[in-house]
Amino acid sequence: MIEFVLSRSMWAGCAVMMGFTTVAGFVVYLVFYKLISKYQREDMKEPTNNLFRVVGLLVSLMLSLAFSDVIVEQRTIQKAVRREAGAISDIFEVLKMFDIERTREIRTILVEYTQAVIDDDWPALANDKLGQRPGALYEQFRDTVMNLELATPAQEKLWSLIVADSDALSDYRVTRLNAALAAPPFYVNVIIFGFLITMATFGAYRPQTTLIMLVSLYTVFVGLVLYLILALSDPFQGDIGIAPTVFEHLVETLQSEIR
């Protein structure tokens, strides 16, 4: 179900998740109301109310912690993407310092690699894999760099900087893949379980118009937060995923310099 929800547009995914939590929540609520109403005594109302508050508080705490965690994780991936683009820019500039004429072909390959990241890698990441063309261009770039002839001590230092940045470039690309392959947080299942327990404790209260409205708002809100947690935990899929904007700006700049 998670893959189905994330493969929809943002609004469709939200609607599906909110519909799921609403239906599941009301089913649990009504089932437990039927069960509890048969055995509930007057002296059990206070313990039931206390249990309801405790369970609701725990679910709210889990939701807030989970949401904070996926926000932090997405910002970490965004930083890695920006650093990857920065490494490409640094390599490009150091190649110009190395020898602007001799490295023209290498810089052209680097620009093609950056464009391939946008055109191939990003669509592939939505399907939990990397594009083949960027990988082939990276290998071509790496081989060409390794075959550079070093004529001066300054070029040796610049060459070592290029190699270090190209290694970082590969690492950042793997970081993107790892983020795309990451499974949904395990605590999502705990949150869903806690949500259903909360709906079960609602069964201590007789269905009334006001209560039905409040329960509906609660289930819809939980569904919305769950969708955001799932969407943010898969940062390269869906409408609110990380876009290759930084690479799009970078490739425009590099192409203008090549021309």
> In this structure, how many other beta carbons lie within 10 angstroms of the beta carbon of residue 64?
11
Number of structural domains in the chain: 1
CA distances from 41 to 34, 49, 96, 207, 208 (A): 14, 13, 83, 17, 19
Pair of tokens at residue 84: 């990857």
Query: Tokens representing 226?
Result: 């769950």
User: Looking at residue 160, what is its pLDDT?
Assistant: 93
Residue 231's pLDDT is what? 84
Residues 6+ apart with CB under 8 A from 52: 198, 201, 202, 204
Give me the pLDDT at residue 52, please.
65
pLDDT at site 112: 94
Q: What is the 3-state secondary structure (H, E, C) of the chain?
A: CHHHHHHCCHHHHHHHHHHHHHHHHHHHHHHHHHHHHHHCCHHHHHHHHHHHHHHHHHHHHHHHHHHHHHHHHHHHHHHHHHHHHHHHHHHHHHHHHHHCCCCHHHHHHHHHHHHHHHHHHHHHHCCCCCCHHHHHHHHHHHHHHHCCCCCCHHHHHHHHHHHHHHHHHHHHHHHHHHHHHCCCCCHHHHHHHHHHHHHHHHHHCCCCHHHHHHHHHHHHHHHHHHHHHHHHHCCCCCCCCCCCHHHHHHHHHHHHHHC
pTM, two decimal places: 0.80
- Helix 132-146 to helix 153-181 angle, to the nearest 10 degrees? 160
Supply the range of the domain harboring residue 71: 2-258
Instruction: Give the span between the Cα atoms of 113 and 247, in whole angstroms.
Output: 10
Q: How far apart are CA 123 and CA 47, in angstroms?
A: 53
Q: What does pLDDT average to in each consecutive run of 10 residues of the chain (259 residues)?
A: 71 88 91 77 56 73 83 88 92 91 91 93 86 91 90 90 91 86 77 86 82 88 88 80 90 84
The amino acid at residue 121 is: D
Burial of 137 (0-12, 13-18, 19+ CB in 10 A): buried
Supply the pLDDT for residue 250.
Answer: 92
Q: Which of 235, 242, 259 is nearest to 118 (CA)?
A: 242
pLDDT at 42: 54
pLDDT at 229: 86
